[in-house]
A = this chain, B = another copy of it.
Amino acid sequence: MSLLIIGSIALDTVENKYGKVNDALGGSAVYASLAASYFCENVSIIGVVGTDFPKEHIELLNCKGIDTNGLEIVNGKTFRWSGKYENMNEAITLQTSLNVFAHFSPKIPNNYKSYEYLFLGNIDPELQIDVLNQMKRPKIVSADTMDYWIEGKNKSLKKLLKMIDILFINEEEIRMLTNESYIFDAAEKVLQFGLKLIIIKQGEYGSVAITKDNLFFAPIFPIKKVIDPTGAGDSFAGGFMGYVASMNKFNYEILKKATIYGAITSSFDVEGFSVEILKNINRKQIEHRYQMLKQYTQFE
């Protein structure tokens, strides 16, 4: 089945104790689509870049089977983010230059409008709603968000929550959104908007998938060294949605497996700066980690 991903496409400058990259490929749509590409053959992205955006990045996406016909190239500079990590759990933003992203108004090409699966990466909830309104209602719509929108566009975000099936959110963010400190209480409140599933990301502690009647705890995949956490959440969501789209159904068993696949694509992402590891993996490596996580969590 087909998966449409909308989000930022960025050139990131990231620095931490392991090194620094300048204007490296990044952005939520990039991380998510690369992760999804290992599961789903038909992944398309919607986004905007400037004329300075290196052609090889588009070639990379295409080479992974990602359709970039919905990628607008407009006069000006590509969105840039620079940040540093003092510890690996929190990015400190040094500079954000929206550039062409400031006037991004996504237009969904006609041939994308009947896609069955949609991931709304972390952008202004008004844009997320606008995208969803342009589509024939997909089978499953998921969205990511962040503290900035919870504070600044709270009404729009709550409107969005009534329209989607799955929310990816950090534990601090869901606490902020609900004023509940216990994540299970927080999730219960958010589920009242009508969502099927909330996935609460807990950084190094893994994630919890919460539905109205059920739960699933997923650990992280324990890698040797976290080199750069940038894109961890997006590559999680991409792996999750790519797997769901490839199965073309959604139930408790599928969501469990999708959450584990999300944890795994995310684990590859954080093993290198930018997409340097994520772009070069294969399904066999993913399945190897899947079997290991099974061993690390299954008991009689």
Give the interface of A toward B (CB within 8 A). 87, 181-182, 184, 202, 205-206, 208, 214-217, 219, 222, 225-226, 253, 256-257, 260, 294-300
Query: Of the candidates B181, B217, B296, which one forms a contact with A219 in the assembled complex, judged by CB atoms under 8 Å apart?
Result: B217
Given the complex, which residues of B lie within 8 Å of A215, measured CB to CB? 222, 296
- The residue on B at minimum CB distance from A290 is B299
**Does A299 contact B222, Cβ atoms closer than 8 Å?**
no
In angstroms, Cα B221 to Cα A217, docked, is 10
Residue contact A184 to B253, C-beta cutoff 8 Å: no
Whole-angstrom CA separation of A21 from B139 in the bound complex: 52
A257 to B298, CA, bound (A): 10
State whether B297 touches A217 (Cβ < 8 A).
yes
Chain B residues contacting A257 (CB-CB under 8 Å) are: 299-300
B222 touches A184 (CB 8 A): yes
A182 to chain B, nearest CB (A): 7
CB-contact partner of A299 in B181, B208, B294, under 8 A: B294
A260-B299 contact given A205-B202, A205-B205, A222-B184, CB 8 Å threshold? yes
Residues of B within 8 A of A253 (CB): 299-300
Question: Nearest chain B CB to A254's CB is how many angstroms away?
Answer: 10
Find out whether the CB atom of A216 lies under 8 angstroms from the CB atom of B300: no
CA of A222 to CA of B184, assembled, Å: 8
Q: Known pairs A182-B225, A214-B295, A297-B298. 11 more at Cβ < 8 A? A: A182-B226, A184-B222, A208-B219, A214-B296, A253-B299, A256-B298, A260-B299, A294-B299, A297-B297, A297-B299, A298-B298
CA distance A225 to B182 in the complex (A): 8
**C-alpha gap A188/B65 in the complex (Å):** 40
Residue of B nearest to A257 (CB): B299
